[in-house]
Amino acid sequence: MNRKTIAYSLSATLALIVAGCAGMPSDNRADFTAMMKSSFRSEGIATVDRLVQDEGQAACSSDQPPSEAVARRIEAEAIASIQWPDGRRFFGDWKAGEKLAQSGRGMTWSDKSTDPKSNGGNCYNCHQITSAEISYGTIGPSLWNYGKLRGVKSLTDPAAAPVIEYTWGKLWNSKAYAACSNMPRFGHKKLLDQDQLRDLMALLLDPNSPVNQ
């Protein structure tokens, strides 16, 4: 296992630990939070501000799920945060999207830049992407036939507009449609840029993409 893989694994483990912290009784939670802050230090681009939860993260990692009112507020704020692509141009190159989906690079202490261009989408870690894969994550649903199952026959079909907009919104800020989604908020958190999101959109929805074969 190389240093990059180790760093990525530690980053993922840290995220799970922080989420679990919020599920503790309040007296233990404060002690655990203090311990976490004293046990980690900023290293390169991986800074300790990653330990700070926003309202949605805190509400969804508590020992009780958020109330319906709180969940709806989180979703409404997430929907309002979505930035639609310049010129309403939703699609790029599915081949570039496939490479992006299979890359787990970026955001670790050993990376030199926070530029989204240096990041991967890491989609395979949570989803099946094509029928040919024999190893993939199952935290999220399978993406195989994502566009086909939703009736997308072409990228210019007006009837596909709702699916296209939903998919862009989900990639931009996943909490827009599920307050407690575990999916990275790629656009909202500037993990990927618009061109990269367009490539992932093509991977998911282009009828010629291996996702839809």
Stretches in the chain below the pLDDT threshold 50: 1-10, 13, 16-18
Write phi, then psi, for 63 (nearest 5 degrees). Answer: -75, -10
CATH number for the region 86-212 comes to 1.10.760.10
Compute the distance between CA of residue 189 and CA of residue 181 in angstroms, rounded to an integer. 14
Q: What is the pLDDT of residues 10-62, one digit of tens each?
A: 455 455 444 555 555 555 667 777 887 788 889 998 888 888 888 889 899 88
The residues of the chain that CATH labels 1.10.760.10 are 86-212
Could you tell me the pTM of the whole model?
0.82
- C-alpha to C-alpha distances, 205 to 3, 112, 122, 163, 202, nearest whole angstrom: 35, 33, 18, 9, 5
